[in-house]
Amino acid sequence: MYQQRTCAAASLLIATLLAPVGAVAEPAKLKLAFYSSDQSMIYRAAVKPFVDAVNADGRGVVEIAVFPAGALGKDLPQQHMLVIDGAADLAFLVPGMAPGQFVDNAAIELPGLFQNIREATLAYTRLASGGVLRGYEDLIVLGAYGTEPEAFHVRPKVTGLSDLAGLKIRTNNPMEGLFLQKIGAEPVPMGVNVTAEAISKGTVSGALIAAPMLYDMGIARVTTYHYFLKTSTAPLALVMSKRVFNELPPPARDVIKKYAGSWAAARFIEIFEALGSQALNQLDADPRRTILYPSTQDQERANKAFSEVADEFAGKAAKNRELVALLKKELTAVRSGQ
């Protein structure tokens, strides 16, 4: 009997000693706040590729759970505060909706600066990774994206730039707003997720928005005139709490870094360009729609207004001039394939 008890005790001791060795550690679990639907184009281009890649490559190490449709907070200008206050570990931002926080993003938003989504996304990614943009001090920028330059999509009849005078137009950021004021239109800062309803109610006459989001956000349903004068990119960002990131085990940090920055930018460009082509083809095939491009005279007038906005921005502070110089340097590098 004594021998049996001794053997049992010995077995229990051995099992206790070996248990930690064989135990499987739980992955680090992170919460990502997304203000809109997980079926939206922005989600499919910017959030889903990153989350899917991290969850697949980091299986057993790190796991990201997405909370879409504003489940962690619906206020678009306050998405960064969800991360800073700890309600979320990651969040998708529209920095132009929070200009008081992301003051240097105005440089990225200058109208007439970028010709396409590739230029906007790569230049923004390089500035964000360089740590020169204020407002991100408590955050790590995992993805910095720029849409194709936004164009006009309105309900009233438009034949050219002069017809926009007096119209209330939804804008993404303050730099677009300054441009609109210079051509006689009235800017109305507004989240893209509520724009279709505002147009339907007559609160605004139309919107500055990137083509891939026309159908996605219901704006095509309430507009019929599409004036493709390129204005500003709409900067977007996927960010993470710097504190939470630094507290992660090294393998989890490594997986997250692997799919951030240039990897995230490349996926966004590829997917958003394809979605943009689909949207344009859909517009072209619809006989109810009027698609316009700026005349030489309208483009010259717009270019003059673009230059005035850029000059006023650069003239306000030495930091602004520094940012414009950096952007032009990065833009030259992007255009030369560097």
Domain of 71, CATH number, reads 3.40.190.170
Q: Tell me, yes or no, whether 136 and 225 share the same domain.
A: no
| Judgement on whether residues 127 and 179 belong to the same structural domain of the protein | no
Number of domains within the chain = 2
Lookup: tokens for 194: 């509520």
Residue 121 lies in domain = 25-148+234-275
Residue 17 in any domain: the answer is: no
Clarify whether residues 119 and 130 are in a common domain: yes
- pLDDT the model gives residue 24: 58
The verdict on residue 14 lying in a domain is no
Specify if 1 maps to a domain: no
pLDDT at 66: 98
pLDDT, averaged in runs of 10, over the chain (338 residues): 46 44 75 95 96 98 97 95 97 95 96 96 95 96 97 97 98 95 97 95 97 93 97 97 98 98 97 93 96 98 98 96 95 91
* Res 61: pLDDT: 98
Cα distances (angstroms) measured from residue 112 to each of 123, 265, 302: 14, 21, 8
Q: What is the pTM of this model?
A: 0.90
Question: Of 275, 299, 326, which residue constitutes the final position of a domain?
Answer: 275
Residues 44 and 179 in one domain: no
**Token pair belonging to 278:** 């689909």
Same domain, 204 and 321: yes
**280 lies in some domain:** no
| pLDDT for residue 11 | 47
Co-location of 81 and 144 in the same domain: yes
- Do 169 and 60 belong to one domain? no
Predicted confidence at residue 25, as pLDDT, reads 76
221 and 271 belong to one structural domain:
no
Listed in order, strand segments (DSSP E) in the chain are 28-33, 62-67, 90-93, 139-146, 151-154, 168-171, 186-189, 206-209, 225-227, 235-241, 290-292
Do both 181 and 297 map to the same domain? Answer: yes
Other CB atoms within 10 Å distance of the CB of residue 232: 31
User: Are residues 38 and 156 both part of a single domain?
Assistant: no
192 in any annotated domain: yes
Residue 10 lies in a domain: no
303 with 293, same domain: the answer is yes
